[in-house]
Amino acid sequence: DIQMTQSPSSLSASVGDRVTITCRASQDIRNGLGWYQQKPGTAPKRLIYAASSLQSGVPSRFSGSGSGTEFTLTISSLQPEDFATYYCLQYKSFPYPFGQGTKLEIK
């Protein structure tokens, strides 16, 4: 099974900061990766699919990059509504593992 290692597990940042979250796959997954944002008590919302494609309606300050085994989610300028938990998901092969999550908190 493919394992996904997401880092960091938590992150403190300020409004306006640039932040990067990383997911590493234990095997080559090409571009079979999505990034999700989840706020407390709500369903996850996909931000990025196919590693770098921006989901329709998602602000352009979110971007994804990488292929193979190393992937990053970047938020170019944090906004107050961006404080949430972020997950990566590998969908190249079964079973689909999520990353462990990154809780982004206000500094």
Partner 1 sequence: EVQLVESGGGLVQPGGSLRLSCAASGFSLSDHYMDWVRQAPGKGLEWVAQIKNKRNSYTTEYAASVKGRFNISRDDSKNLLYLEMNSLTTEDTAVYYCADCGSHPSGIWGQGALVTVSS
Instruction: Return residues touching partner 1 (CB under 8 A).
Output: 32, 34, 36, 38, 42-46, 49-50, 53, 55-56, 87, 89, 91, 94-101
Q: Which amino acid is at 36?
A: Y
Which region, left, alpha or beta, applies to residue 18 given φ > 0 means left and ψ of -120 to 50 means alpha? beta
Cα-atom radius of gyration of the chain, to the nearest Å? 13
Using the minimum distance from each CB to partner 1, give the nearer residue, 35 or 82.
35
How many Cα atoms occupy the beta-carbon half-sphere of 57 within 13 Å? 2
Using the minimum distance from each CB to partner 1, give the nearer residue, 17 or 63.
63
55 DSSP 8-state letter: P
Min. distance of Cβ 69 from partner 1 in angstroms?
A: 18
Min. distance of Cβ 23 from partner 1 in angstroms?
A: 13
Min. distance of Cβ 14 from partner 1 in angstroms?
A: 25
Closest by Cα among 90, 97, 91, 80 to 39? 80
Using the minimum distance from each CB to partner 1, give the nearer residue, 17 or 55.
55
Min. distance of Cβ 3 from partner 1 in angstroms?
A: 13
